[in-house]
Structure 1
Amino acid sequence: MSKSEKEASAVNTVAVNGGGKSDETGLSDLRHADDVLLAELGYKAEFKREFSLLETVAFAFSIMGVVASVSSTFSFPLVSGGHVGMVFGWLIPSLFVFTIAASMAELTSSMPTSAGLYYFSAKLAPPKWSALASWITGWANVTGQVTLVCSIDFTCAQMITTAIAVGSDGAVTLGAGPTYGILWAILISHGIVCSAATNILARLNLAYVLINVGTTIAAITALLVCSGNKGTRVSTKDAFTMFENNTGWANSGWAFMLAFTAPMWTLTGYDSAAHISEEVAGAAKAAPIAILVGVGATASLGWLLFISASFATYSVSDLLTTTLPLPMGQLFLNNLGKEGMLAIWSLIIIVQYVTGAAQGVDASRVVFAFARDNALPGSRWWKQINRYTLTPVNGVWLVMVMAGICGLLGFSATALSSLAGASVIGLYTSYATPIFLRITSGRNKLVPGPFSLGRWYLPIGIVAVAWVVFIIVVLLFPAASAVTANDMNYAVVLVMAVFIFAGISWIVSARHWFTGPISNVDKGDSLATYNEKQARMQNDEHAY
């Protein structure tokens, strides 16, 4: 069946009851149309579609946690450019990321399934290479998802230790061991939250976005107002043009580009809208809107926050020599005082915590989808849906355990840059692969959904892929020119370990049995039979 026939089928399904129905009935029909389209893509509906358009947008935005992410990665632009690193080190990558988001939105609108990126790659690659493209994309995405959970929760632990240090006036400074223990406590609590039913997760995201936006605006205002009151605000010229290279790299242009780590780490996870699309009503429209709005809002608010931080940074060297785990904590302390800093920092900790919770949901859906196609060791466990919550609880806990193992990097001096680099490289490799296939072998294969780039898909896709290739090279380098075993960038170790495992697995075994996405809908069923099965499943759900 062609895509136009799918859409006609979905519309006819909704229209069969006529007009004048209640909103609830209309929503039920919309969800049913989504499930019919999902069946055409090869999968049976196993989730409840509880995410509305607003909640889907909130999810995609919350997963990037702008104020907490900026606070976590503030050290990168400080070292790599100072004021210029803060302002333009954020703006430039944000513009390029939007091309990636636009390309991904088009793909998601055409194929709204939790399998997401590796499904796109399988359908757009030449038949001979379809399974391999899907395998590479899937493993890259899983790697990025798990390390992103770890990096978010690790920085949340660092934020807590920063608050403890400030609250005790430096008397209590927790090292790597206690920080790792806090990381595990956060991961376990996130495992509990992420195991909840879809309707609970959907409602929680509305609260997440309010906390996120409110705290970001409060931080921007506080930095600008308090720095002005204390007379420590720098001039507009200095805030936008003062450049300081503290990396040790002789080439200032190269040093500046290392500041791109901050926005690239923050602007990740927006593929979450694709991965929860089987839980979204009207997914073909809602998911691409969520991707574009989430990236646009995060990039805009993040830039404003970095501009305010640039104005409030009287001395870059003072922030770089702080004894606090995160320099952003020192910036707030300098401008707001102890009480003010602890107040805003407490809110930022909450934002980082809920960001980690949202990312945990996203990662678990990726693990579930990849296991559903039997691509993970122990897939039969990880693809199970809990009969009570109708969510992949086993997949949730696999993500948390793997993130805890990755957290062992917290005992190195460059834990954040290593985890951030690994998550960005893994995720953006998985983003770029289907986009590359879209502009090459898949030019005539994609049947557009409600959101389409039209003829602009080609130039936008070329820019997107070129940017990913460039930024991956940048992220493999250490922040400083002189490197020891303690301050090495271990991103390459994490990423290569996974790719070597995936590569050997493919050569030795997977190429003989992995064929890409596997349909779990009985091909012998008519559409009417499928609809009857769906109705029975929904009735069974109501019985629990």
Structure 2
Amino acid sequence: MAKTKDDALVTSSEVDSQDDLDKVGYRSEFRREFSLLETVSFSLAIMAVSCGITTGYQYPLLSGGHMAIIWAWFIASFPVMCIPASMAELASSMPTSAGLYYFSAKMASENRSALASWITGWSNITGQITLVCSINYSSAIMITSAISMATDGAVILTQAATFGILMAIHFTQGIICSAGTRVLARMTVVIMVIILGTTFSAIIALLVCAGDRRVSAKTAFTSFENNTGWGNNGWAFILAFTSPMWSLTGYDSAAHIAEETANAARAAPIAILVGVAATEILGWLYYIAASFATQSVTETLQTTLPLPMGQVFLDTLGKTGSLALWIPIAVLQYMCGCSQAVDASRVVFAFSRDNALPGSRWWKHINPYTLTPINAVWFVILMSAICGILSFSAAAFDSLASASVIGLYVSYVTPIYFRITSGEKKFKPGPFSLGRWSRLSGAISVLWTVFMVIMLLFPYARQVDAQTMNYSVVLVMAVALFASLSWIFSARHWFTGPVPNIDNKKYENEKEEST
């Protein structure tokens, strides 16, 4: 134990965490109330594997049938794992809520530092906010699916009703996410328990209850059906990667709550790696179970339910069993949205702390009672709700999912790219380091992301109209255009990247006096 200048007792891990934060130039403004378990839970909560598979099942089902259901997730898991590994190394070295855009600023060369930070920050905020909306929209359509199941298809809600549900989800999440750090930390453990419970329940229920109706192993693992309209089967299969790419996002959350985490230099990389690895393994098992339980790809795609997995549940578990499993997953998806909103608010706070957002003085304000950035929470909720207007499009989920993945993964690999180029010699490893594998992991991360970003800009089906087009390009380009013009005409003259808000020399003197 040690004494701070306020004569309060803190643990040695808190002292270490504060030392790490002071080294990167920021004053500690949060309570460090996320333990290692809660940080891992937070990472798992945003990926929420049972929700991700349930809502993303339509992608492999459409673009390859059984073969894509099982193998698209499996194949994508390997290059995707390189990205969190490289990110964990950076988070261990520089544990701050500024996260990715701070990493870019420090790893880029001096003349590119500010621009690299600007690009990373805006890309991450774009991905963060659209991810909140995509999670909440999928939560809304899970609710409409449950209503349709419960009424045997008699009640099918309109797009306007779905939009109303989406707005209610946003509003109530804003209230929950305005709570203090202790409440949010405890909530993540509850979410983790629900994730594990619903995932294992779904895997077991689909395999056991399908009984003699299970398809053969040959069909489950090798049957290929292209229902996208694209003539090239290889391209159709690649489109199935949308599911793992959307599900395996948000793991940077552990870096963004670093200033609320005890011993963040160790806890953050562990949470990132454990969260992604567990999600990949459990997700693949869930997809295997779903493939065996899907009796007919064509009939499943023709369902009147908003989500094809709902039809698989009904065919396998019956109405009562389906609702008994579907409702907890829907509740989990709502809580997943809460976790993502918290994550996004910390990014907005950190970027505003460096005066990079319009209205930064509002968004960087810390509520004196909760010691959390409540204004930033409501900024995220408002912007996500605006994105929710896309719910009137038939391709709303596709567009939001693609936009979130593009924004987030561009922000993920930008600091990784600079880490293995200009930042290789000046990088100072933290407790977790990839060592000689850093360059290989980074190179795979960059190449895979470039490939996936190009893929995600394409429409999912070949024949498109105003209702079915992929609007992700509109969302991403709108923010990119605004950020670019802001940089050219204004920000390049005053934005220098992360701005330290403490005097390190003064801190060192206070530290010596307190000890």
| Rounded Cα–Cα distance in structure 2 between residues aligned with 1:196 and 1:375 | 25
**Equivalence map 1:300-379=2 (5 Å):** 300-379=281-360
Output the amino acid matched with 1:40: K
Corresponding residue number in structure 2 for 1:207: 190
Note if 1:234 corresponds to 2:215.
yes
Corresponding residue number in structure 1 for 2:372: 391
Deviation, structure 1 residue 525: 1.0
| Rounded Cα–Cα distance in structure 2 between residues aligned with 1:397 and 1:532 | 40
Q: Secondary structure at the match of 1:127?
A: coil
Pick closer, same or farther for the CA change 1:384–1:447 going to 2, 3 Å: same
Corresponding residue number in structure 2 for 1:511: 492
Output the amino acid matched with 2:475: L
Note if 1:217 corresponds to 2:189.
no
Deviation, structure 1 residue 101: 0.7
Output the amino acid matched with 2:220: A
Please give the per-residue CA displacement for 1:300-331, whole angstroms capped at 9, x wherever unaligned. 00000000000000000111111111111111
1:136 to 106, 113, 119: 119
Residue range with higher mean Cα deviation, 164-173 or 205-214: 164-173
| Rounded Cα–Cα distance in structure 1 between residues aligned with 2:354 and 2:491 | 12
Output the amino acid matched with 2:277: G
Q: Secondary structure at the match of 1:128?
A: coil
Question: What are structure 1's unaligned runs of at least 5 residues?
Answer: 1-13, 18-23, 536-544
| Rounded Cα–Cα distance in structure 2 between residues aligned with 1:170 and 1:480 | 26
Note if 1:493 corresponds to 2:486.
no
Whether the 8 Å CA contact 2:107–2:113 is kept in 1: the answer is yes
Whether the 8 Å CA contact 2:173–2:338 is kept in 1: the answer is yes
Q: Secondary structure at the match of 1:172?
A: coil
1:154 to 134, 137, 151: 137
Q: Secondary structure at the match of 1:248?
A: coil
Corresponding residue number in structure 1 for 2:394: 413
Corresponding residue number in structure 2 for 1:472: 453
Please give the per-residue CA displacement for 1:208-262, whole angstroms capped at 9, x wherever unaligned. 100010000000011001111xx32100011000000000111100000000000
Q: Secondary structure at the match of 2:241?
A: helix
1:52 to 18, 35, 38: 35
Q: Secondary structure at the match of 1:206?
A: helix
Corresponding residue number in structure 2 for 1:529: 510
| Rounded Cα–Cα distance in structure 2 between residues aligned with 1:400 and 1:116 | 21
Deviation, structure 1 residue 191: 0.7
| Rounded Cα–Cα distance in structure 2 between residues aligned with 1:165 and 1:400 | 28
1:263 to 218, 228, 244: 244
| Rounded Cα–Cα distance in structure 1 between residues aligned with 2:405 and 2:85 | 18
Deviation, structure 1 residue 29: 2.4
Output the amino acid matched with 1:440: T
Q: Secondary structure at the match of 2:498?
A: coil
Q: Secondary structure at the match of 2:11?
A: helix
| Rounded Cα–Cα distance in structure 1 between residues aligned with 2:2 and 2:100 | 32
Please give the per-residue CA displacement for 1:368-422, whole angstroms capped at 9, x wherever unaligned. 0000000000000000000000000000000001000001111111111100000
Pick closer, same or farther for the CA change 1:378–1:314 going to 2, 3 Å: same
| Rounded Cα–Cα distance in structure 1 between residues aligned with 2:139 and 2:121 | 27
Residue range with higher mean Cα deviation, 31-40 or 471-480: 31-40
| Rounded Cα–Cα distance in structure 1 between residues aligned with 2:403 and 2:205 | 33
| Rounded Cα–Cα distance in structure 1 between residues aligned with 2:120 and 2:42 | 23
Q: Secondary structure at the match of 1:354?
A: helix
Deviation, structure 1 residue 364: 0.5
Corresponding residue number in structure 2 for 1:451: 432
2:178 to 184, 195, 199: 195
Output the amino acid matched with 2:465: T
**Equivalence map 1:15-94=2 (5 Å):** 28-94=11-77
Please give the per-residue CA displacement for 1:123-143, whole angstroms capped at 9, x wherever unaligned. 000100100000000000000
Q: Secondary structure at the match of 1:33?
A: helix
Corresponding residue number in structure 2 for 1:253: 234
Note if 1:121 corresponds to 2:104.
yes
Query: Aligned pair count?
Result: 512
Deviation, structure 1 residue 527: 1.2
Deviation, structure 1 residue 189: 1.1
Whether the 8 Å CA contact 2:2–2:11 is kept in 1: the answer is no
CA RMSD of aligned residues (A): 1.5
| Rounded Cα–Cα distance in structure 1 between residues aligned with 2:164 and 2:106 | 43
Whether the 8 Å CA contact 2:20–2:265 is kept in 1: the answer is no
| Rounded Cα–Cα distance in structure 2 between residues aligned with 1:208 and 1:127 | 42
Residue range with higher mean Cα deviation, 285-294 or 476-485: 476-485
Deviation, structure 1 residue 530: 5.7
Deviation, structure 1 residue 33: 2.1
Whether the 8 Å CA contact 2:22–2:504 is kept in 1: the answer is no
Pick closer, same or farther for the CA change 1:337–1:276 going to 2, 3 Å: same
Deviation, structure 1 residue 193: 1.1
Output the amino acid matched with 2:167: W
Output the amino acid matched with 1:302: G
Q: Secondary structure at the match of 2:240?
A: helix
Pick closer, same or farther for the CA change 1:16–1:28 going to 2, 3 Å: closer
| Rounded Cα–Cα distance in structure 1 between residues aligned with 2:328 and 2:120 | 36
| Rounded Cα–Cα distance in structure 1 between residues aligned with 2:153 and 2:513 | 65
Output the amino acid matched with 1:370: F
| Rounded Cα–Cα distance in structure 2 between residues aligned with 1:92 and 1:408 | 34
Deviation, structure 1 residue 512: 0.5
| Rounded Cα–Cα distance in structure 2 between residues aligned with 1:365 and 1:528 | 30
| Rounded Cα–Cα distance in structure 1 between residues aligned with 2:170 and 2:176 | 10
1:184 to 167, 171, 189: 167
Identical-residue share of aligned pairs (%): 61
Output the amino acid matched with 2:406: I
Q: Secondary structure at the match of 2:502?
A: coil
Whether the 8 Å CA contact 2:23–2:504 is kept in 1: the answer is no
Deviation, structure 1 residue 522: 2.4
Deviation, structure 1 residue 351: 1.3
2:153 to 158, 164, 170: 170
Deviation, structure 1 residue 57: 0.6
Corresponding residue number in structure 2 for 1:422: 403
Output the amino acid matched with 2:221: F
Output the amino acid matched with 1:74: Y
Q: Secondary structure at the match of 1:299?
A: helix
Please give the per-residue CA displacement for 1:477-525, whole angstroms capped at 9, x wherever unaligned. 1111112121100111100100000000000100001000000002451
1:462 to 443, 446, 449: 443
Deviation, structure 1 residue 199: 0.9
Deviation, structure 1 residue 188: 1.0
Q: Secondary structure at the match of 2:26?
A: coil
